[in-house]
Amino acid sequence: MKRIAVLGSTGSIGASTLSVIASHPDKFRVVGIAARSRVHLLAEQFQAFHPARVAVWEEEGACAFTRLTGHREVLVGAAGLTELATHPDVDLVVVATSGHDALRAVVAAIQAGKRIALASKELLVMAGSLLMRLVKAHGTSLVPIDSEHAALFQCLQGVPRAHVRRVVITGSGGPLWGMAPAQMRAVTREQVLAHPKWRMGPKITVDSATLMNKGLEVIEAQHLFEMPLSRIDVVIHPEAVVHALIELVDGTWMAQMSPCDMRLPIQFALSFPERWETAVPRLDLTQLSALRFIAPDPEHFPCLRLALEAASRNGSSCIVLNGANETVVHAYLREQASFADIPRVIAEVLAQHAPVAELDLEAILALDAWSRRAASEALQACAVVPMTT
């Protein structure tokens, strides 16, 4: 029986992970859960799974959790998250958090020899070289949950890298695909957050609308699969049936196809190298229409262009890209920035940065903090000052 800790258990990926675990009670046991907020849902998860350990990001949330459950041994903050992720009772850590807060905990978990099932794009974008180097050094494994990388991971099983000509990441195009530039300039938050295929958190849904998510996924693929940028392509696939493809040197293509249900890549990451039955509805090939694959226009989606430019430089530029993007997207979700501010601010912050090839953990975190401050300053500089009379 695998003993699992879920970091970010109250988000969409975390909740789906617990659903997968609940469907296989003979194979998994939840020994720890952690969340930044949504303490009421965390309390419900605690009552359902009875984990021995719970972590909450802030002391106020920990107190609220204790009032709801009576459970007093609550871990708090970054130190609490690290203690949970490295505990001897944990075999596998599911990283379902978005953002940079879990980086120290994930590094410590890898150093402790824990298996990692990773859903967070941001951690690989920030620290992919460091994380993959540590995975090798400590003899453990990291299996991606992100649907596109889970698909590539499956396609590449047993295939020598020398036989792979290129890998292809697909994307539905998000909620704004097909809009004219004039329409995109007037897009509403409701339109941006209405993804046509996937149910996701608001931050990743905005990234899908800007196609920043595809750029981040290219950076992830560079680290996960040791692929140069020249051998990674992005295509828009509106039907969202094929999640990734690989082309072999002889012209053969291999693709991974499945319904749009995150429980599938989650279960594969948890069960790997085995495959188990699932309750997810099957894909009916006879009901499929034509499958389209369209090259995206990076000029029409400037966030994709900025991400690909950062990927070409790799290293510290990707840290800056990620920190600036997170900052301005969260400002957008708080209605403190416009949709057009997202690529503008990211470009301004990247222009201020001189790339560095390799950074250690402390330098990564320092540069991440700088990029967030720089993005906040760029937003404040263009804020509209109310007129006085």
pLDDT digits (tens, 9 = 90+) for 275-327: 999 989 999 999 888 899 999 988 889 999 999 999 998 789 999 999 999 99
Q: Is 39 helix (H, G, I), strand (E, B) or coil?
A: helix
Phi, psi (degrees; rounded to nearest 5) at 101: -65, -25
- Does the domain made of 315-381 have the CATH classification 3.40.50.300? no
Q: pTM here? A: 0.92
The predicted structure's pLDDT at residue 353: 95
Q: Classify burial at 207, counting beta carbons within 10 Å of its beta carbon; exposed 0-12, middle 13-18, buried 19 or more.
A: buried
Secondary structure E strands in the chain: 2-7, 28-35, 53-56, 74-76, 92-95, 115-118, 142-144, 164-171, 232-236, 242-248, 253-257
In this structure, which CATH number among 3.40.50.720, 3.30.990.10, 3.50.50.60, 3.40.190.10 belongs to the domain 2-144? Answer: 3.40.50.720
Evaluate if residue 95 carries a pLDDT over 50: yes
Q: How confident is the model at residue 387 (pLDDT cuts 50, 70, 90)?
A: very low
Cα–chain center distance at 238 = 20
Distance CA 4, CA 7 (A): 10
Q: What is the DSSP letter of 193?
A: T
Nearest to 293 by CA among 143, 150, 170: 170
Q: Where do the domains of the chain lie?
A: 2-144, 149-287, 315-381
Question: Token pair for residue 218?
Answer: 């290219």
Contact 341, 298 (CB under 8 A): no
